[in-house]
Amino acid sequence: MTDTTNQTAPIERVPSGIEGFDQLLHGGLIKGETYLLMGPPGAGKTIFGNQMCFHHIATGGRAIYLTLLAEMHSRMLAHMQTFDFFSEDPLADKLTYISGYATLEQQGLDALTKLIRKEVRKQRATLLVIDGVLTIEQNTASLRERKEFLHALSVTTETSGCTTLLLTQYDRGVYDQPEHTMVDGLFHLTAQLHDWRLLREIQIHKFRGSGFLEGRHSYIIDRHGIEIYPRAESLMKTNPIPLPTSLTSIHPAGRMAFDVARLDEMIEGGVPTGSMTAVLGAPGTGKTLLGLHFLGAGVRRQEQSLYFGFYESPVQLKRRLAELQLNIDDKEVSRYLEILTQSPTEDIIDVLGEQIMATVRKKKVKRLFIDGLSGFQNAIASQERMDLFLSSLFTTLRNLDVTTIWTIELADLLNPTIIMPATISKMAALVENIVLLRHVELYSQLYRLISIMKMRQSKYDPSIREFRISDSGLDVDATFTSAEAILSGIAHSGESTGQESAMGDPLTSQKEPQ
């Protein structure tokens, strides 16, 4: 016979219906316990409480929304109708709205306690939301009364299996009031300006009986209601993805070609499968075109490919892909190529990361081209957070065996020494491969050069090559001869080098009269 005396029943969760919030709590609230959600006016507490109620009744539960505010329920519900979570179905038998304001004001805290106990039993409620807990503090003479109220509330909800969420505008220190210490969980919403943007964040200060994702996490309020985006690095830490066989094997990794003949020759047939490649270059050097070559090569090999960018419109991408003999309106092309364009003014970097990862998982993407690091830089307030986010994103993509190309724009248009800013240099250190594209000016004409700066654990040709952009795409010179002539011309602009290449003689054809 099995001894069950020391076995405990599994924890029963109550999902909030806010996916990101449930992720923070590893599955949702715990049934029968009492929680406090605090934050300043306008942070979204009332939206949060109503959104949770509507989800709860939609999944078979029964809820009470009790207000201690002067606001009329009809006005509050009118506001809630603008959100997708609001249901037009009759609410009377599932969701009950009650005002406890008059009871508290006229009869005191004991009468409010009796009202709550009566309604929870009468409605057989499994979720109770109390909005306006600050009103209790304002109408109570002593801390002892408030502690007794919270204790009685906990007993009532625990014995009935009713999960309780308290909403308060209190926004001072944490853990300096009985509401903070006596509840089973404390959640804090903040909304503050950073430069011109409003950044909304939620933090779980405590959550008894379960682990949770620590730190601050971003959220937004839109037509869906509250949407919470856990930090990408915290999700990666709690849900690690094992490395694919291709990256743990002692055998060399496969290759992902660009289908740019001489470039592929320089890198032994392509970049290693599952690796990250940074393409560095000033505006106009051909970074986007090189990334589109990479995606086009994937489509031709029937590999699921994804473009994610900020500055190219779908119309522009369609035209540029057409030059590479790829028609995105063609069913066969659209079957293997997904295009996601995003406004460069997006405020939350975790939203961008989630969009990428959701598509990667859904489409089983093998080739990913992220066009522009600056779009992510614009969406984040801290460089330290940027480093953590990129490290997490890159690790996740590698572990999913996704081969990624990422463009990074350099500010100097005509600097032959290419000294990278410290922030970009640190980001470039996170990737396995680095390709540098640059302009060189010679005799009032611009030339483009390409070189492989880094390819970890892989052979490559380190020579600098000249390349040109034509109607059919990017064409790399067969040798380094023309590039050497161009670079020698920088050092000795008054002399002819006499060097020639398959792409022509840039010095002799452009040299000014002596």
Q: Are residues 57 and 186 in the same domain?
A: yes
- pLDDT level of residue 272 (50, 70, 90 thresholds): very high
pLDDT at 157: 87
Q: Are residues 222 and 249 in the same domain?
A: no
- Last residue of one domain, picked from the residues 436, 469, 490: 436
**Secondary structure of residue 434 in the 3-state scheme:** strand
pTM: 0.78
Q: Are residues 250 and 374 in the same domain?
A: yes
Q: Are residues 165 and 307 in the same domain?
A: no
| Rounded-to-integer distance, Cα 380 and Cα 344, Å | 12
Q: Are residues 179 and 300 in the same domain?
A: no
pLDDT at 317: 86
Domain containing residue 351: CATH number: 3.40.50.300
Q: Are residues 260 and 355 in the same domain?
A: yes
pLDDT at 414: 57
pLDDT at 385: 80
Q: Are residues 172 and 36 in the same domain?
A: yes
| Rounded-to-integer distance, Cα 130 and Cα 193, Å | 28
Among the residue ranges 237-246, 304-313, 340-349, 459-468, the one predicted with the least confidence is 237-246
User: Residue 470: inside a domain, yes or no?
Assistant: no
The count of structural domains within the chain is 2
Q: Are residues 185 and 80 in the same domain?
A: yes
User: Residue 95: inside a domain, yes or no?
Assistant: yes
User: Residue 407: inside a domain, yes or no?
Assistant: yes
* Beta pairing class for 225-229 and 367-371: unpaired
User: Residue 483: inside a domain, yes or no?
Assistant: no
User: Residue 463: inside a domain, yes or no?
Assistant: no
Q: Span 185-191, mean pLDDT?
A: 93
Residue recorded with tokens 């509401």: 179
The residue ranges of DSSP E strands in 47-88, in sequence order, are: 63-67
385: Cα separation from own chain's centroid: 12
Please determine, for residue 328, whether its predicted confidence score (pLDDT) is greater than 60. yes
Give the domain extent around 42. 13-230
User: Residue 450: inside a domain, yes or no?
Assistant: no
- Last residue of one domain, picked from the residues 230, 260, 292: 230
pLDDT at 250: 46
* Beta pairing class for 185-194 and 34-38: parallel
pLDDT digit string (tens) for 442-484?
777 888 899 999 898 788 998 898 898 888 888 888 877 777 7
Percent of the chain with pLDDT over 70: 82
Q: Are residues 267 and 218 in the same domain?
A: no
pLDDT digit string (tens) for 397-429?
999 999 999 998 887 655 545 555 555 666 667
Q: Are residues 42 and 169 in the same domain?
A: yes
pLDDT at 491: 40
pLDDT at 512: 37
Q: Report DSSP letters for 234-252, one per residue.
A: HHHHHS--PPPHHHHSSSP
| Rounded-to-integer distance, Cα 266 and Cα 282, Å | 22
| Rounded-to-integer distance, Cα 142 and Cα 140, Å | 6
| Rounded-to-integer distance, Cα 116 and Cα 197, Å | 40
Q: Are residues 133 and 177 in the same domain?
A: yes
User: Residue 497: inside a domain, yes or no?
Assistant: no
- Last residue of one domain, picked from the residues 436, 470, 504: 436
Q: Span 101-109, mean pLDDT?
A: 89
Considering the chain, what is the average pLDDT of its residues?
83
User: Residue 466: inside a domain, yes or no?
Assistant: no
Among the residue ranges 55-59, 98-102, 418-422, 474-478, the one predicted with the least confidence is 418-422
Q: Span 332-361, mean pLDDT?
A: 86
Cβ contact 191:199 at 8 Å? yes
Q: Are residues 118 and 215 in the same domain?
A: yes
Q: Span 350-375, mean pLDDT?
A: 91
Task: Please tell me which residue, 274 or 486, carries the higher pLDDT value.
Answer: 274
Q: Span 38-44, mean pLDDT?
A: 92
Burial category of 34 from C-beta neighbours within 10 Å (exposed 0-12, middle 13-18, buried 19 and up): buried
